[in-house]
Structure 1
Amino acid sequence: MSKKLILSGWCVFFSLITTAQSQDSLQNIISLKEIVVSASKIPLERKETAKPVQVIDFEQIQRSEGKDLAQLLHEQSGLVINGAFSNPGKNKDVFIRGASSEYTLVLIDGIPITDAAGLGGAFDLRLLPLQQVERIEILKGSQSTLYGSDAIAGVINIITRGPKEGIFSFDAALSAGSLNTSQASLSVSGKADVLGYNIGYSRFYTEGISEATDNVDTVDFDKDGSQREAFQANFELTPSTSLKISPFVRYTDLTNNYDDGSFADAANIFTSEVFNPGTRITYLKNNFQINGLYSFVQTDRKFNSSFGESVFKGRTHNLDIIANYRLNENFQVIGGIYRQEAKVLDDEATEKDPSFTITSPYVSLLVTGFNKFNAELGYRLNDHSEYGNEGTYSAAVSYDISPRVTLFGTYGTGFKSPNLNQLFGRFGPNPDLKPQSSRSYEGGLRFNLLDQKLSGELTYFDRSIEDVIIYDFSVGYQNRDEQNDFGVEASFTYQFLPRWSLTAHYNFVDGEVTLPLTSERDSTFHNLIRRPKHSFMLSLNAEPIKHLFISLQGQYLGDRSDSFYNSENFQTEPASLDAYFLVNGYVSYEATSALTIFADVKNITDTDYIESTGFSTLGFNMQAGIQVHL
């Protein structure tokens, strides 16, 4: 599919929408009044931001018991989570619009949660239980101007549960199901005078399946189980109407059994402990607001295998100070400074206990509701202790061509700094690496038609990344390739009855890497491993009777290319993955105001499929349980 064909289709669709929409003065749909914070780092109504924000709200999360965080994200338009339906303990790779996991920045409550000792620095989705999440905001496209390194493909901001109104409330959930899987969570929450609290604990256990696929059927591969315990405490202290102090602490202990790779059984053990304390301070006076965010991330990971024991310890400090001044009802200025200090505790690295710091001042001008325009212009300067300065900038604009149709476009540059393993690690480090840099743009429209029954969004995007860091066994890490990706996203929701709705999204993504062969000749080839060109989801959500909710969902992923390491000939070999279609279902019944019964069923048709060559996937499986709210 060529870019010209995609753009032509976009123009045709745009003309149909603008012809179909009515000319009355109805305001944007109610969902656009929802408050979001990720797009500009300050609370805004969705209709006020020029950036398209995808929100997973609390109701949707409550109706996702039995799923994990990776499976819920996999349902969202533009996201593919490879491993979401493999063995529960297998690693989960986040692909936003075809980009590798390392180009997506994960935030928890607006603060980066990177792993200094990780190979790519990406957050491990297995560490955070969904029961501790209040909502999720997803920003696609380059967000480096506001969020710095790693935000080349987008940002996922996971907002945890805070104090509830009232002196005391109690929430609990208990479920069990296939693979001898069980999950329990409980939390207490409340507010009294100037103090608020939310304290939660969850435990997950499963026997799992064999992580690796037995391709010869001559031996019985053992099951690779997983268990996780997680604790979280959020507090609020409000000494005055202008000042709020919100300290927090999170701790997760994860243990997984894992195999030696594709088609290779083993009795390996992986453990990961994450300790994450911090605080958020907010001061608001008239038209001026300042936020201070601090967090410390301590990660301790250990791999026990036939190769012995490998230990990785990372320490990261994050500090972000954000000031916002409203000039008038249409114009605001946002400015701040961010500092990150990252260290790996490793005596065997080429530089003992390597570390770096990034200091980044940034500024943004925000325009809201000015003659039907919303806009945001921003710039960020990143001062890295190892490679110097890197500047990024961005622009986003939206225009309400009618009360029901909004046209939007964004352009941004981004960067990803080399991580400490690439700069100073044990295998092939290169202290002369440059940051990877990107430019991306997107354009599209949001619409709300047929008396607010039909709403949706259509987007075209294009992204280029230069100085891509690759690993070459002969020379180690180096800047070499150029990556180019483009595609289309289309999502629709149609409410055809008061409590019945149909949601659909379609995604097309294509990409290629340019590999320099000589000073005069390059080689270009498709390289989106495990990422489909075509994917779609169709979901029917209904409340046929009061208190009963039913959801039926179909997910399609098209053909994909893959590669795997063949342990018999010690070579990396190409592979092809067939398309597949999964049918999943969910049902819940609110028996009383305090008790809800639910069941989550995945792969109802027991489809045989592959997410990664040589690794197993889940057949028919289900979880059932109860939720208690007191």
Structure 2
Amino acid sequence: MSRKITLLACMLTGTTLFAQKDTVTLDEVVVTANKLEQKQSTTGKVITVITKEQIEKSGGKTISQLLNEQAGITINGAFNNTGSVQTVYTRGASPGRTLILMDGIPLNDPSTITTDFDLNFFSVNDVERIEVCKGPQSTLYGSDAIAGVINIITVKKDTKKPFNIKATLSQGSLGTSRNNVQVFGKAGKLTYTTRFARLFTNGFSSAYDSTGVRNYDNDKYDGTVSSGQLSYQASHHLAFKAFLMYSQYKAGIDAGVFADDRDYNIHNKSLITGTGFQYKKGRVAITGNYQYSELTRNYRNDSAHKTSTWFEDNTYFGKSQFIELYASTRLGNGFTLLTGADYRYSSYNQNYFSVSAFGPFKSQFRDTSLSQTALYASVLFNSPYKKLNIELGGRYNDHSRYGNNSTYTFNPSYSFNDHLRVFGSISTGFKAPSLYQLSLNSKLNAEKSVNYEAGFSIQQQKFTTRLVYFNRRINNGIDYNYITFNYFNYVKQTVNGLEWELAASLGKAGFSANYTLLLSEEVTQNRLTTKDTVTYDYLLRRPKHHINLSANIDICKGLNIAVTGKYVSSRFDIGGYRRADISLPSYFILGASADYVLNERVRFFADAQNITGKKFFDARGFNAIPFLFNAGVTFNW
């Protein structure tokens, strides 16, 4: 009883206090930068880490919403109805130009036009941490890493007991329930983890009713994620692993911009499995990985609610395989050599059937495939006094369709002292054309980019900040020609930008913020006439100004309260076929959360999004979230 009174008193006395203690740490140990465990201060790459603690305090958010709070990243769809397409824009790059990794291994969907991997397949409860590495990373990670990579890490570390259980139960607005259970442990040389998560919500209408009188229905979402991991330490030097993740979700979707459809649903499935090993002895470490994945996307529109299409069944099936082997060797005098090779194979097919006012229609896209083989190497130098760090690397990529291409990276950094560090890079990236694009134009080449980057970071005990300038140029971007109705290497894009991150700690309180500025120029086909070339000084759905704010405070022992704010400036969206682009208004939304640790076994949390009920749009013709509330509890045994 006394504990309840104390908790209530803390909440009443603390409702007007705001600050942020979970600051962005600029010297985390990371693996994404160079495939080696290293401090952020020993690499010149721009890396942001979303820690396990930050993830656990965001129980009501999705992976996309967490990423959407980071400098330089916009996730279009993060604030739309659950199950919506999640389009990742990093530093203003187009869709499919940010590579998603799971535990360091690339993920993609060969059945989509831009090969984006669906972030809806991840449960936030299954994630241990996220590392975002911005700027071209194609030298180490290959195609799609033009703007950066997002490494979603699911592997648990420091498991000691043979049997552990962790369960999370939560309920929220719109009939939303989020449930997760994990069983994990370590017995001798064997470490295991099993997880199951389910997210259900009645949702809201995906399409926006601009008249306000058409009574659009809510679009539900029901998804589950099951996963398992095994690792076996065969000897002091050799370890093996195996993993599997099966995800599926059903979601209601609508007929399109401003258009409802009461029986249009998607049912998407993903299977990812694989194995690997790591051998470490002396100065040498060798890592091998194999991953196999299958993805099925089914769009089904039955005839109960007739729109322009009475019935539609559209099924895509994609398959991918990935094999890699790489080794790091410490050469002495601060030099490390990383060498590696990887092989990628992907294929997909499609079956389509529909009935409309024009009658039945059937089509089939038979199996088509491609493969890529690559060799890469990097030389890393860390000076004896930990001041100068240099990475110099290159990659040769051989593609079964268009031939070969190469990339390079030069990335130095210098620490003047324990607090001030400067860094920069000159690097290239590439995106291979997708199977669908190649099926229409077999002569497509890889899209290539050149990136320049410079910045500095200051890190003190109670204050950290980082400022980065970047410039990216693309001269042969892949786009769709609405005159020839085909894909071609056409787009020229230049993006200049700034990213500024700040975090300050004041004992029990603190504050953090980030700001992104995008200045862009894109030469592409005129979207209004489709008959000439136009230079646009903006990028669709990507704001020029983007600000995230966060503040929290420890009210009393175990209780933490936080407030967040997000500002997105005006930006343009497509107005329709051969119509002028439409400007979407800017918006500012507020969120709040509370986290109470009762003891080492029980943790309560609550999360509220868009607490003022602001009406805003991230995509023209589609609704964004209303006020949402979620609360729950996590148990550990």
Q: TM-score, normalised by structure 1?
A: 0.91
In the alignment, is residue 202 of structure 1 matched against residue 197 of structure 2? Answer: yes
Q: Secondary structure at the match of 2:160?
A: coil
Distance between the aligned counterparts of 2:365 and 2:315, measured in 1? 17
In the alignment, is residue 171 of structure 1 matched against residue 185 of structure 2? Answer: no
Corresponding letter in the other structure for 1:580:
Y
In the alignment, is residue 145 of structure 1 matched against residue 121 of structure 2? Answer: no
Using the TM superposition, give the Cα deviation of residue 403 of structure 1 relative to its aligned residue in structure 2, in angstroms. Answer: 2.2
Corresponding letter in the other structure for 2:615:
D
User: Which deviates more, 248-257 or 556-565?
Assistant: 556-565
Counterpart position of 1:39: 33
Corresponding letter in the other structure for 1:311:
T
1:234 to 204, 214, 229: 229
Counterpart position of 1:358: 372
1:554 to 565, 582, 591: 565
Q: Secondary structure at the match of 1:422?
A: helix
Counterpart position of 2:520: 511
Contact 2:28 2:49 in 1 (8 A): no
In the alignment, is residue 281 of structure 1 matched against residue 277 of structure 2? Answer: yes
Corresponding letter in the other structure for 1:156:
I
Counterpart position of 1:299: 295
Corresponding letter in the other structure for 2:562:
S
Counterpart position of 2:529: none
- 1:10-42 Cα distance to aligned partner (Å, 9 max, x none): xxxxxxxxxxxxxxxxxxx99455321000011
Counterpart position of 1:486: 496
In the alignment, is residue 117 of structure 1 matched against residue 121 of structure 2? Answer: no
Distance between the aligned counterparts of 2:211 and 2:525, measured in 1? 40
Aligned length in residues: 588
Q: Give 5+ residue unaligned stretches, structure 2.
A: 1-22, 302-308, 353-362, 527-531
Q: Secondary structure at the match of 1:70?
A: helix
Q: Secondary structure at the match of 2:574?
A: strand
Contact 2:323 2:343 in 1 (8 A): yes
In the alignment, is residue 417 of structure 1 matched against residue 424 of structure 2? Answer: no
In the alignment, is residue 369 of structure 1 matched against residue 379 of structure 2? Answer: no
Distance between the aligned counterparts of 1:350 and 1:30, measured in 2? 49
Q: CA distance change for structure 1 residues 417 and 350 in 2, over 3 Å: closer, same or farther?
A: farther
Distance between the aligned counterparts of 2:234 and 2:180, measured in 1? 31
Using the TM superposition, give the Cα deviation of residue 545 of structure 1 relative to its aligned residue in structure 2, in angstroms. Answer: 1.0
Corresponding letter in the other structure for 2:36:
I
Corresponding letter in the other structure for 2:343:
R
Q: Secondary structure at the match of 1:327?
A: strand
Counterpart position of 1:19: none
Contact 1:162 1:235 in 2 (8 A): no
Q: CA distance change for structure 1 residues 514 and 411 in 2, over 3 Å: closer, same or farther?
A: same
Counterpart position of 1:594: 601
Counterpart position of 2:345: 341
Counterpart position of 1:401: 416
In the alignment, is residue 271 of structure 1 matched against residue 278 of structure 2? Answer: no
Counterpart position of 1:325: 329
Contact 1:362 1:378 in 2 (8 A): yes
Identity %: 35
Q: TM-score, normalised by structure 2?
A: 0.90
Q: CA distance change for structure 1 residues 432 and 606 in 2, over 3 Å: closer, same or farther?
A: same
Using the TM superposition, give the Cα deviation of residue 402 of structure 1 relative to its aligned residue in structure 2, in angstroms. Answer: 2.5
In the alignment, is residue 474 of structure 1 matched against residue 468 of structure 2? Answer: no
Q: Give 5+ residue unaligned stretches, structure 1.
A: 1-28
Counterpart position of 1:12: none
In the alignment, is residue 188 of structure 1 matched against residue 183 of structure 2? Answer: yes
Distance between the aligned counterparts of 1:49 and 1:585, measured in 2? 34
Contact 1:83 1:90 in 2 (8 A): yes
Corresponding letter in the other structure for 1:472:
N
- 1:380-406 Cα distance to aligned partner (Å, 9 max, x none): 000000011101001101001222100
Counterpart position of 2:406: 391
In the alignment, is residue 459 of structure 1 matched against residue 431 of structure 2? Answer: no
Distance between the aligned counterparts of 1:56 and 1:346, measured in 2? 37
Contact 2:376 2:395 in 1 (8 A): yes
Distance between the aligned counterparts of 1:64 and 1:494, measured in 2? 20
- 1:339-396 Cα distance to aligned partner (Å, 9 max, x none): 1001113479998411111000000001123451011000000000001110100110
Distance between the aligned counterparts of 1:592 and 1:374, measured in 2? 43
Using the TM superposition, give the Cα deviation of residue 592 of structure 1 relative to its aligned residue in structure 2, in angstroms. Answer: 2.1
Distance between the aligned counterparts of 2:31 and 2:129, measured in 1? 11
Q: Secondary structure at the match of 2:625?
A: coil
Corresponding letter in the other structure for 1:613:
R
Counterpart position of 1:13: none
Using the TM superposition, give the Cα deviation of residue 198 of structure 1 relative to its aligned residue in structure 2, in angstroms. Answer: 0.5
Q: CA distance change for structure 1 residues 499 and 51 in 2, over 3 Å: closer, same or farther?
A: same
Using the TM superposition, give the Cα deviation of residue 514 of structure 1 relative to its aligned residue in structure 2, in angstroms. Answer: 1.6
Counterpart position of 1:212: 207
Q: Secondary structure at the match of 2:140?
A: helix
Contact 1:346 1:354 in 2 (8 A): no
Using the TM superposition, give the Cα deviation of residue 294 of structure 1 relative to its aligned residue in structure 2, in angstroms. Answer: 1.1
Corresponding letter in the other structure for 2:425:
T
Q: Secondary structure at the match of 1:423?
A: helix
Counterpart position of 1:611: 618
1:433 to 444, 457, 460: 444
Q: CA distance change for structure 1 residues 171 and 161 in 2, over 3 Å: closer, same or farther?
A: farther
Contact 1:89 1:224 in 2 (8 A): no
Q: Secondary structure at the match of 1:589?
A: strand
Counterpart position of 1:621: 628
Q: CA distance change for structure 1 residues 46 and 329 in 2, over 3 Å: closer, same or farther?
A: farther
Distance between the aligned counterparts of 1:350 and 1:512, measured in 2? 39
Using the TM superposition, give the Cα deviation of residue 121 of structure 1 relative to its aligned residue in structure 2, in angstroms. Answer: 0.5
Contact 1:263 1:615 in 2 (8 A): yes
Using the TM superposition, give the Cα deviation of residue 499 of structure 1 relative to its aligned residue in structure 2, in angstroms. Answer: 2.1
Corresponding letter in the other structure for 1:285:
K
Using the TM superposition, give the Cα deviation of residue 526 of structure 1 relative to its aligned residue in structure 2, in angstroms. Answer: 2.1
Q: Secondary structure at the match of 2:543?
A: coil
Using the TM superposition, give the Cα deviation of residue 291 of structure 1 relative to its aligned residue in structure 2, in angstroms. Answer: 0.4
Distance between the aligned counterparts of 1:83 and 1:183, measured in 2? 19
Distance between the aligned counterparts of 1:37 and 1:141, measured in 2? 16
Q: Secondary structure at the match of 2:367?
A: coil
Distance between the aligned counterparts of 1:148 and 1:370, measured in 2? 31
Counterpart position of 2:358: none
Contact 1:162 1:234 in 2 (8 A): no
In the alignment, is residue 246 of structure 1 matched against residue 261 of structure 2? Answer: no
Q: Secondary structure at the match of 2:555?
A: coil
Q: CA distance change for structure 1 residues 176 and 572 in 2, over 3 Å: closer, same or farther?
A: farther
Using the TM superposition, give the Cα deviation of residue 617 of structure 1 relative to its aligned residue in structure 2, in angstroms. Answer: 1.2
Contact 2:242 2:276 in 1 (8 A): yes
- 1:504-562 Cα distance to aligned partner (Å, 9 max, x none): 11110121112389xxx963212411111011111112212111111111110011111
1:90 to 84, 87, 111: 84
- 1:217-244 Cα distance to aligned partner (Å, 9 max, x none): 2311011111111101011111101011
Corresponding letter in the other structure for 2:131:
E
Distance between the aligned counterparts of 2:193 and 2:575, measured in 1? 44
Q: Secondary structure at the match of 2:54?
A: helix
Using the TM superposition, give the Cα deviation of residue 489 of structure 1 relative to its aligned residue in structure 2, in angstroms. Answer: 0.6
